A and B are shown apart, each in its own frame.
Chain A
């Protein structure tokens, strides 16, 4: 347990403050960073996107009806490009390590 003292919280946390030394980015670049990350993960993990859309609750009705064909088409396209094989290869790699 830490020692007592008036407002020790600020002193303690100032040592751990993340923001002072960190590099910041403007919103536009942050949005691009997230968009690129999302797109790349959607390429390699398209199956997750498809299965998520497929399992959307029925009450989402029109939303589900719109998203599901998009997700299916996207997954088919990624499969054709061979990108979904990467996840399968990674799974095999891990399985080999687990079985070692």
Chain B
């Protein structure tokens, strides 16, 4: 079920009404929300609900054993390893099996060992990367004694499957969501205006900006880059940067907004990433829930900032490389992760980190431009279907004779207005909410309803799936 559809609108209205009607019977409310979340997930393919259930059961049991006072330290370590292997095993099978077999086949072919390995067509369950990471963070946090294991299977099931963030994040930590699940929601403290604003903003970003950029520019440029020249290819990759930001942050906005209307609070997942003056700052602003996850569950266990400089740089590089692989089972994602890892290492080596926001304006502008364009360069590998496609895109910048097609006022506005919005004050949305909340309720409601109707009118026919669904 996609967020910007009437199916989801009707689903949400039912869930909103029933869940708040049940707020006094907490267990019943949780059971209803679990059922609704499984319905939401099963809308794609009901068979994957068993995967969700299995993930919840494994993480619940692991948490209970880890938290039991009589569990020995040795057993705790084994249970933690077992839970992580189970989580990563399902992720590895569904997401990386085909990639692994295809790569191995290629390698054997190159070595002259022409034997076809068994190839299975494995369907990737939507959102598996997200709920797997939530499951891992839960058991690791229990192991580290950062949180107590939940005694309720229902709570863990809801934590793993809660529909707003289930399929494309944000990756909500157990220490954020579980206490909210355990407590009775307060019907007098709903983030109503903010929640509705986020939903409307998310719909606008996805249905108008991301969809038009994809269909009228980016998809065409990446389908056959040889047809275009440097101006179009530059516009298209800038457009892709805006498209993926608007697409992914729209999902997070709607997820945060929907959760807020149901009485749950998530943190921001994006914070104007393209105003970053360094790659390090970019990762503090982009997909914050993933970058903090990678930091806490990968970078720090690898050694983090401890150890000699070469070791710290290696830790950074490996973290970004694995972050690249997390995005998808293809060499293009591996290369994209390696580029970001190399950039982080280089920034640190050159001593460029830690100066964000303290330089003169012109140097900050140069730093923003360099960071953004490096991000765009890396996006060529992220977006291209194959490595050869990415190289062809780069080579096509030499097509100086190609006519300019994408430089229309509409497409330029779609690229540059969202980019300019990155430089608004960080609390712009909060300021807007502070003004709007004083308006009469009927005016706010009517405005939101009209905005949704207008977005529907402006948006192209049909809704493309969110980019991050495939991850």
User: Residues on A close to B: CB < 8 A?
Assistant: 1-4, 7-10, 12-13, 16-19, 21-27, 29-45, 48-49, 52, 86-88, 90-91, 94, 97-98, 100
Contact A23:B441 (CB < 8 A) given known A1-B283, A7-B146, A9-B292:
no
From B188, B256, B294, B306, A1 is in contact (CB under 8 Å) with B294
| Contact, CB under 8 Å: A26 / B187 | yes
The answer, yes or no, to whether B153 is at the interface (CB within 8 Å) is no
Size bin of chain B's contact surface: 35 or more
The answer, yes or no, to whether B6 is at the interface (CB within 8 Å) is yes
B:441-465 near A, CB below 8 Å: 441-442, 444-446, 448-450, 452-454, 456-458
The answer, yes or no, to whether B74 is at the interface (CB within 8 Å) is no
B:317-335 near A, CB below 8 Å: 319-320
Q: Which residue of B lies closest to A14 (CB)?
A: B267
From B256, B261, B296, A34 is in contact (CB under 8 Å) with B261
For B282-322 the 0/1 string (1 means CB < 8 A from A) is 01100010011011100110001110000000001001100
The answer, yes or no, to whether B94 is at the interface (CB within 8 Å) is no
Cα of A39 to Cα of B447 in the assembled complex, Å: 11
User: Residues on B close to A: CB < 8 A?
Assistant: 6-7, 9, 13, 16-17, 20, 146, 173, 175-176, 187-194, 196, 256, 260-261, 265-268, 271, 280, 283-284, 288, 291-292, 294-296, 299-300, 304-306, 316, 319-320, 344, 408-410, 430, 433-434, 437, 441-442, 444-446, 448-450, 452-454, 456-458
Shortest CB-to-CB span from B408 to chain A, Å, is 7
From A1, A18, A86, B268 is in contact (CB under 8 Å) with A18
Cα of A8 to Cα of B154 in the assembled complex, Å: 28
Residues of A within 8 A of B190 (CB): 24-27, 30
Cα of A66 to Cα of B334 in the assembled complex, Å: 52
Shortest CB-to-CB span from B358 to chain A, Å, is 17
Contact A94:B193 (CB < 8 A) given known A23-B437, A33-B444, A44-B449:
no
The 10 closest A-B pairs by CB, nearest first: A40-B449, A36-B445, A4-B304, A44-B453, A27-B187, A25-B192, A37-B449, A87-B457, A30-B192, A41-B449
Kindly list 19 other residue pairs between chains A and B, CB separation below 8 angstroms, not including A2-B280, A2-B284, A18-B194: A1-B320, A2-B292, A4-B300, A4-B306, A18-B268, A23-B433, A26-B187, A33-B441, A34-B261, A36-B449, A38-B9, A40-B445, A42-B449, A43-B449, A43-B453, A44-B454, A52-B7, A86-B453, A90-B454
Contact A36:B446 (CB < 8 A) given known A4-B306, A22-B430, A100-B409:
yes
| Contact, CB under 8 Å: B441 / A22 | no
Q: Which residue of A lies closest to B305 (CB)?
A: A4
From A17, A30, A33, A90, B267 is in contact (CB under 8 Å) with A17
Residues of A within 8 A of B283 (CB): 1-2
Q: Which residue of A lies closest to B17 (CB)?
A: A31
Cα of A22 to Cα of B196 in the assembled complex, Å: 13
| Contact, CB under 8 Å: A1 / B450 | no
Cα of A35 to Cα of B394 in the assembled complex, Å: 51
Shortest CB-to-CB span from A20 to chain B, Å, is 10
Would you list 10 pairs from A and B whose C-beta atoms are within 8 A, ordered by A residue? Answer: A4-B299, A4-B304, A19-B191, A23-B434, A24-B190, A36-B441, A48-B456, A87-B454, A87-B456, A100-B408
Shortest CB-to-CB span from B301 to chain A, Å, is 10
Residues of B within 8 A of A21 (CB): 430
Q: Which applies to chain B's interface (DSSP): helix, strand, loop or mixed? A: helix
Residues of B within 8 A of A86 (CB): 453, 457
| Contact, CB under 8 Å: A41 / B295 | no
| Contact, CB under 8 Å: B449 / A18 | no
Residues of B within 8 A of A36 (CB): 441-442, 444-446, 448-449
Shortest CB-to-CB span from B308 to chain A, Å, is 15
Cα of A9 to Cα of B299 in the assembled complex, Å: 13
Cα of A87 to Cα of B454 in the assembled complex, Å: 7
Cα of A7 to Cα of B442 in the assembled complex, Å: 43
Residues of B within 8 A of A22 (CB): 191, 194, 430, 433
Q: Which residue of A lies closest to B176 (CB)?
A: A13
| Contact, CB under 8 Å: A44 / B410 | no
From A42, A43, A48, A100, B410 is in contact (CB under 8 Å) with A100
From A16, A27, A34, A44, B450 is in contact (CB under 8 Å) with A44
Q: Which residue of B lies closest to A42 (CB)?
A: B449
From A4, A10, A34, A100, B445 is in contact (CB under 8 Å) with A34
Cα of A27 to Cα of B9 in the assembled complex, Å: 19
Residue among A10, A16, A41, A88 with the most chain B CB within 10 A? A41
Cα of A40 to Cα of B268 in the assembled complex, Å: 29
Q: Which residue of A lies closest to B454 (CB)?
A: A90
| Contact, CB under 8 Å: A98 / B442 | no
Q: Which residue of A lies closest to B410 (CB)?
A: A98
Q: Which residue of B lies closest to A46 (CB)?
A: B453
